[in-house]
Structure 1
Amino acid sequence: MESIHLQQTLPQVFADRNSITSDIWHQDITFSKGEMYLIEAASGTGKSSLCSYIYGYRNDYQGIINFDETNIKAYTVKQWVEIRKKSLSMLFQDLRIFTELTGLENIQLKNNLTGYKKKKDILALFDAMGIEDKLNTKAGKLSYGQQQRIAFIRALCQPFDFIFLDEPISHLDDSNGQIMSALLKEEVKKQGAGVIVTSIGKHIELPYNKVLKL
């Protein structure tokens, strides 16, 4: 996948608004592989909806979203499985961690599907993120910030053309945010991928090519 192209895309719940001031909604905008984008958003502007639309599990929007000029509403379930396995990684704001599984089991669940990371590499990521002692702790017993770091590691355990991170450091201190940034830049460089980050305030520090207002 080389591009994500939004054409006059707008959440249906916004359709009756008299005016929309946004760099994304109701615009013609393309996210290109290999570039980094920051989407700054106020609460209630549809940030999480945008994530849901691009990941393909909600379609309550007007307009068109294309992957390489193919309308994503045309994809079959089988095609979406392949896209989420090989082309598009997503770190959701609500994390979607399995609380009854350990930190490592949450990662292995993803990595067993993709076969992308060796166990030693996964352990190295836990160490780098400062949660090496949480490998065998059930995720439900971890703090939100610790769960956020596990979700981040999981997002790296697959090949991707684009990685979408929805408020990835909302519960991290500056030090952990910097570590996450370094690890992300390393993985993105290796894969030649594009990065789309959303924020309602504090954001991960990256060399963004473009900053957009939602």
Structure 2
Amino acid sequence: MHIQLQQVVPIPLRDRFAQRQSDIWNAHVTFAEGEWIKIKAPSGTGKTTLIHILYKLRSDYEGAVLWGNENLKGIQPASLAQLRQQSVSIIFQDLRLFDHLTARENIELNRVLQQPFYESNKIDEMAELLNVQYILDQRAGLCSYGEQQRIAIIRALVQPFTWLLMDEPFSHLDKANTARATSLIAAECATRKAGFILTDLDEDDHFNYSKHLQL
């Protein structure tokens, strides 16, 4: 499934981007199925807004966003739910874990939303790869932010997807843990022939990107 952005501009940022050059805002952009896309986005340019628009958490924009042939502004709730459960996964910048649930329970909620893509033992396997197996049965609210970030990554990877949206997914990880996380994400995306869109502040060499864009 390809993604198209047709002259999309967030209404709250419209005046700021009227005269500013961007590869995304107010442009015609197509992301082909399976592409690994890096969007460099300095602070204040709307990287979280973009991710939220793509996931249909926000609709306050001009232009059109199409997933395949489906315009997000007119998508029906049942179709949106199916899109999120089967085709699109997301790693939020603010993580959005349930603090009162354990790390395992947070992941498990995503795993069983639909016909499970993985068996439950895959949680333990991924947790060991990211060095967070020891906190799986601890309440998420008691984990460090870096631990929570790795739990959020696992949560996104246990469900089906053809596209993975990532908003500064490694911001609280050190170099070693970032390497573990990128290796796992790359392996999962390669296995599924899935694409991803990653926004971050700086250049990096975490992945073999198909495309580099400036927000």
**CA–CA distance in structure 1, aligned partners of residues 15 and 170 of structure 2:** 33
User: May I ask how many residue pairs the two structures share in their alignment?
Assistant: 213
Aligned to 1:20: 20
| Correspondence for 1:197 | 198
Indicate the residue corresponding to 1:54 in structure 2: 54
Partners of 1:168 and 1:204 within 8 A in 2: no
Give the corresponding residue for 1:44.
44
Specify the alignment match of 2:182 in structure 1: 181
Q: Give runs of aligned pairs for residues 24-173 of structure 1, distance below 5 A.
A: 24-114=24-114, 115-173=116-174
Partner Cα separation in structure 2 for residue 15 and residue 123 of structure 1: 45
Q: How high is the TM-score relative to the length of structure 1?
A: 0.96
The alpha-carbon deviation at position 14 of structure 1 amounts to: 2.2
- Do 1:117 and 1:158's aligned partners in 2 also have CA atoms closer than 8 Å? yes
Deviation at 1:69, TM superposition (A): 2.8
Distance 1:125 1:112, change over 3 A: same
SS at match of 1:113: coil
**Deviations 1:4-56 (CA, angstroms, capped at 9, x unpaired):** 10000000012224412111000100111111000001111011110111101
Whole-angstrom distance in 1 between the partners of 2:89 and 2:204 = 18
Distance 2:41 2:28 in 1: 18
TM-score after normalising by structure 2: 0.96
Question: Structure 1: which amino acid aligns with 2:48?
Answer: S
Q: Is the 8 A contact 1:102 1:139 kept in 2?
A: yes
Q: Distance in 2 between matches of 1:105 and 1:157?
A: 12
Take 2:40 and 2:148, find their aligned partners in 1: how far apart are those partners?
23
Cα distance in 1 for partners of 2:178, 2:203 equals: 10
Alpha carbons 1:169, 1:203 under 8 Å: kept: no
Measured at CA, do residues 148 and 203 of structure 1 come closer, stay the same or move farther in structure 2, by a change above 3 Å? Answer: farther
User: Gaps (5+ residues) in structure 2?
Assistant: none
Unaligned runs of 5+ in 1: none
Match of 1:210 in 2: 211
1:204 and 1:162 map into 2 onto residues whose CA distance is 20
Give a deviation string over 1:55-89, Cα, whole Å, max 9, x none: 01210000010111321111111111100000000
Residues 169 and 204, structure 1, Cα contact 8 Å, conserved in 2: no
| Matched residue SS, 1:82 | helix
In the alignment, the residues of structure 2 paired with residue 20 and residue 12 of structure 1 have an alpha-carbon distance, to the nearest angstrom, of 15
